[in-house]
Amino acid sequence: MVAADVLVFDMDGVLVDVRESYRETIVQTVRRFSGKTIARELIQQYKNAGGWNNDWALTERILRDLGFDVDYPSVVAEFNKLFVGENGREGLVRRERWIAREGLLERLSQRFQLAIFTGRMRWEADITLNRFAPAIGFDPIICADDVTEPKPMPEGLLKIASAAPEKRLLYFGDVVDDARAAKAAAVPFVGVGEQKALLKQEGAVAVIDDINQIEELVA
């Protein structure tokens, strides 16, 4: 059991399955500009190396590594067209799947303060939270546009800690940047998902298959 007062969640890969949304948007954006189809395993390799929490920047980097010099604003614009949709076409964001089973977060909210520290922009987070968890009182919610230095820098976790003085935080994330942000903020970290050995190596106090195992872990 791990003791905590505030449970802080990353969103992608922790609360939300984004394989068919963000990950697929990277694949399709790369294809639009290069004509090449990359494997999702390649995306994970970049994520495992760290420093690629921003999917727009990651897409630009993958294109550059493939030999295609596409300016960042063009990458962002094309990515967002695919992700959000345009001209009546449904965006890939609609393919997202909420991972937490019905009632889980409601039960946790009776025992813990629930917060979010995500690499999403606020508008991106709002789309998903309003769709899947409108009644869950996450507080605070720290997004990419709430910090000057994104993950793996600890600014977001430090903001949450300063808003909850003397409370014990526990951060749940699925990639190296989450683990490194937690370490820099001196917040215990729980790894979530398939990269168990890597997240353990990065200092996770525990690693779980998905967020639905959380009640077996927290005290």
> Tell me: the pLDDT tens digits for 115-125?
999 999 999 99
Q: Which domain holds residue 138?
A: 6-17+97-216
Cα distance between residue 49 and residue 120, in whole Å: 19
Furthest C-alpha separation in the chain: 53
CATH number for 176:
3.40.50.1000
1, part of any domain: no
Please give the distance of CA 215 from its chain centroid, rounded to a whole number.
20
pLDDT digits (tens, 9 = 90+) for 45-100: 999 999 998 999 999 999 999 999 999 999 999 999 999 998 778 899 999 999 99
Q: Distance (Å, rounded) from C-alpha 211 to C-alpha 43?
A: 22
The answer to whether 33 and 63 have CB atoms below 8 angstroms apart is yes
**Among residues of the chain, what percentage have pLDDT more than 70?**
100
Domain co-membership, 108 together with 90: no
Q: Do 69 and 108 have their domain in common?
A: no
Which one, of 117, 125, 123, lies nearest residue 156 by Cα? 117
Cβ atoms of residues 195 and 48 within 8 Å: yes
The rounded distance, in Å, linking the Cα atoms of 122 and 128 is 10
Shared domain check, 43 and 32:
yes
Each residue of 9-36: pLDDT tens digit? 999 999 999 999 999 999 999 999 999 9
pTM above 0.85, yes or no: yes
